[in-house]
Chain A
């Protein structure tokens, strides 16, 4: 049998054209790493960035004789996620073994939930860019453990093919995961990419507000597998789907869906069948390529994990957890927008920049909503962009921004000086107050030195003084400029103007 022809044999169809003639259906699986102190089944520490193979126990290394014990905190977090997604919580559910041989799976089986997920039958409303609310139905949310991390050394691609050898770091093996699986998301039409992106983003925000994960996309805390199929009309049966694995940024989710719509439309236009397979997404050019074919022959030999007893959360406990659920992001966003008085577009920019928490904390620290937005969406966004980091990675806290804005509002520094103070804060020189003192950046507010500088400036430019006395205030700027220069910008320009006019008039 020859290999079936792939998308390379067919051409892409322009996205707009594709969605006019085909109806896309999405299905999204999101994995989130839980922010527990220890792993899913043992007491090994969970911490990002440790030396390889230092956060391990006999259990997470799969040594002979070791046995798993369920992490109660992980169960609580899974229930929190389930409740936030309006799911039912199972009265009793089991773990199963998913058997397959791969070096990053230390036992050569993954302990996961299979036919008995802890949470099932839920939904979540997501808000699209134009404010339209779209409901996504959740089939299930189940608990499982992460695998180790492979590093393939010696090849050109970083993939296993062509590598000379591979290294495995088991620090990640056994970190608790919750996998959230949607039902087929229908009726999205040409907004499929946007819906997919908004859904993953909404989940990310929920994970954070629940406090169950840092949910940092760039660290792989949240990973999405995007299933997509096309069918001729919304009434047709579902088409064959592909699963694009490990799409790890919001933008990539959007691009991956867009690309698959175009690609599959090309395959179908050519009269070929879409092959059911997993696909890899390529950040560089936004394309996907064929991974392994998902045939029915793939057999994980699932069976109930005999080393664990069923997880049976009491109804009282579930209700206790429900009572502590925080306000969910969509509701919170609406409340904050009203409180802050931001326009829709302004709020959307804030959300997209991931600045809600930062602005909120800044406001709590005493800054006006407008002032907080000015900093985070202006100067700080510019600097984050310049350094290619996220806003929260900047080495400045909301409290420091609040203090900085306070200095400006009290007139002790001006905007230009404030930017210099920010330089100091970002350079680790301490709080804004400390930087102002250390760098001597305070506006000169004592009139004595100012008057001296003004008198010097007036004496140096008698022609301007004459013009101003004659009633033409235009050239006064030159005097002010000279004073500002003489005081190295530390003078309050408004006060200088007052004093200059006063002096000339006297």
Chain B
């Protein structure tokens, strides 16, 4: 029974809960048991919050028993990336500098999750301050890919993706600055959505790059992503960049798409996001998915976005520039780690230096230095200024492409999951993982990755769909249609093909 519950999608679990086939306490306990059994190997979680999760579950069960009206996802457990602040739960953003920090407030999206009655299972592992594509930059150890424990689960949100792929949670929250939701989704065979910039409140997300960061759902099905998207999305007066409009009807779009009719839909294949650098199996699965879309009635057109070739360069100026300023607050003065200099006078400036020196990892330091340099007087125009111009060009490319197509598509990541250590000493190779996902962040448009098969190495491949800003519903319509067609070909979800994880017997 335990195994069955953790295999359910969030929407099926929600139905079982509302039909009173199971209780939220049972569902939550089943996932906590699964975490206890497999997380020793996976290490998707940095903190597991059993007592609070079970208390929430019991509350929801009591309300349901009393006949109260509940949110459709009430009682369905969820995992939250550790970059999102949670009142009373440790929040480290994968960094030593926030070791043992307990936030005094909840992120807006966490408030919404709590108000809807979803038990929070715990906080998931990530690259430090969401800087990375493999979760190897976490200060708290690697998260393993459930498909192959020698491989990376993607990053920065490797913990959330592995937790969902490893059936430790049906739902998780991720954040995506350059692909940190979509790329882990691709390499773990899960669904990840980066909503339109401003679609989900950033209040309470520990910022890396304010103009690029966006939180979104990490799930096993497109419909589950839509359900979570609707829950966390919508205007928040605490976030000035939040869109003051209703959330697009993403659940309805997913339900409509699942019927499999894409007649009249124009799908644009971005020329610049394919070919050289893309693994053969990745390209093959991509072509097959295009055939599937054609079969569903969609028209496939090729579009060109010439400025996308500069996206990575612009991203690695804008993101570090903003990060260098956003991370300045970590100085040992008010919260988190405080380190005094080993010798010499203990002045504020020297404590700040010692704290940041000891508390930040190499990748964080690298980006803070890059960003500080890019913003320096005399260099600002050449670096940050030019990068902003490229950003405008990319936005124009998107606008032109969306004249020709309703959605754009590409492989999510150029390769399947690589082995630990393979790219750790080569930052540029690591950065190339995000080449296909970054343009969406620079333009603020929404993107989805869903699994579209296994490469020749037996590892999952991701298919990326991009839509115009505020047209997130299109992602779900196309995603659900493709998902249904693919799963009928596979005879079930792709994750059914993943190897069984070794479980540790519990002493409960």
Contact = CB atoms under 8 A, between A and B. Distances in A.
B380 to A, nearest CB: 7
A317 interface: no
A66 to B, nearest CB: 7
Interface stretch (B9-17, B263-271, B322-330): B322-330
Contacts of B352: 101
A65 B376 contact: no
A299 B372 CA distance: 10
B380 A66 contact: no
A309 B325 contact: no
B325 A99 contact: yes
B284 to A, nearest CB: 40
Contacts of A68: 240
A208 interface: no
Contacts of A106: 329, 334
B282 interface: no
A102 B202 CA distance: 26
A69 B372 CA distance: 25
A340 interface: no
A88 to B, nearest CB: 25
Contacts of A108: 328-329, 331
B121 interface: no
A306 B210 contact: yes
Query: Which of A61, A62, A66, A68 has the most chain B CB atoms closer than 10 A to its own CB?
Result: A66
Contact of A64 (B93, B372, B375): B93
B353 to A, nearest CB: 9
Contacts of A151: none
Interface string B32-59: 0000000000000000000000000000
Given A63-B103, A101-B349, A303-B384, A69 B237 contact: yes
Contacts of B209: 306
Query: Which of A69, A108, A301, A309 has the most chain B CB atoms closer than 10 A to its own CB?
Result: A301
Contacts of B333: 103, 168
Nearest to B212: A306
Contacts of A301: 324-325, 372, 375-377, 380
Given A65-B204, A303-B325, A309 B380 contact: no
Interface string B182-210: 00000000000000000000111111011
Nearest to B204: A65
A114 to B, nearest CB: 12
B331 A65 contact: no
A172 B98 CA distance: 26
A353 B54 CA distance: 68
Contact of A166 (B103, B107, B240, B348): B348
Nearest to A68: B240
B331 A307 contact: no
A97 B238 CA distance: 19
A107 interface: yes
Interface residues of B, number: 44
B85 interface: yes
B105 interface: yes
A109 B328 contact: yes
A97 B241 contact: no
Interface string B339-359: 000000000110010000000
B240 A306 contact: no
A64 B98 contact: yes
Interface string A187-203: 00000000000000000
Contacts of A62: 329, 334
**SS class of chain A's interface: helix, strand, loop or mixed?**
loop
Contacts of A309: 240-241
Given A63-B103, A63-B104, A101-B349, A69 B238 contact: yes
A308 interface: yes
Interface in B226-281: 237-241
Contacts of A101: 328, 331, 349, 352
A67 interface: yes
Contacts of A308: 240-241
A123 to B, nearest CB: 31
Contacts of A64: 85, 91, 93, 98, 101, 103, 206-207, 329-330, 335
**SS class of chain B's interface: helix, strand, loop or mixed?**
loop
Given A99-B375, A299-B376, A299-B377, A66 B241 contact: no
A428 interface: no
A66 B334 CA distance: 14
A65 B328 contact: no
A103 B348 contact: yes
B211 interface: yes
Given A99-B375, A307-B210, A63 B240 contact: no
A306 B384 CA distance: 13
A65 B104 contact: no
A308 B198 CA distance: 12
A108 B334 CA distance: 11
A306 B241 CA distance: 9
B105 A63 contact: yes
Contact of A69 (B205, B240, B331): B240
Contact of A303 (B206, B321, B349): B321
A20 to B, nearest CB: 40
A12 interface: no
B325 A97 contact: yes
A67 B349 contact: no
Contacts of A109: 325, 328
Given A101-B331, A307-B210, 5 more contacts: A63-B105, A65-B206, A68-B240, A99-B324, A307-B240
Interface of B: 84-85, 91, 93, 98, 101, 103-105, 107, 202-207, 209-211, 237-241, 321-322, 324-325, 328-331, 333-335, 348-349, 352, 372, 375-377, 380, 384
Closest 9 CB pairs of A and B: A108-B328, A306-B210, A301-B375, A306-B211, A65-B204, A65-B85, A64-B206, A299-B377, A62-B329
28 contacts: A63-B85, A63-B103, A63-B104, A63-B105, A64-B93, A64-B207, A64-B330, A65-B103, A65-B204, A65-B206, A66-B105, A67-B202, A69-B240, A70-B240, A99-B324, A99-B325, A101-B328, A101-B349, A101-B352, A102-B348, A106-B334, A107-B329, A108-B328, A303-B384, A306-B322, A307-B240, A308-B241, A309-B240
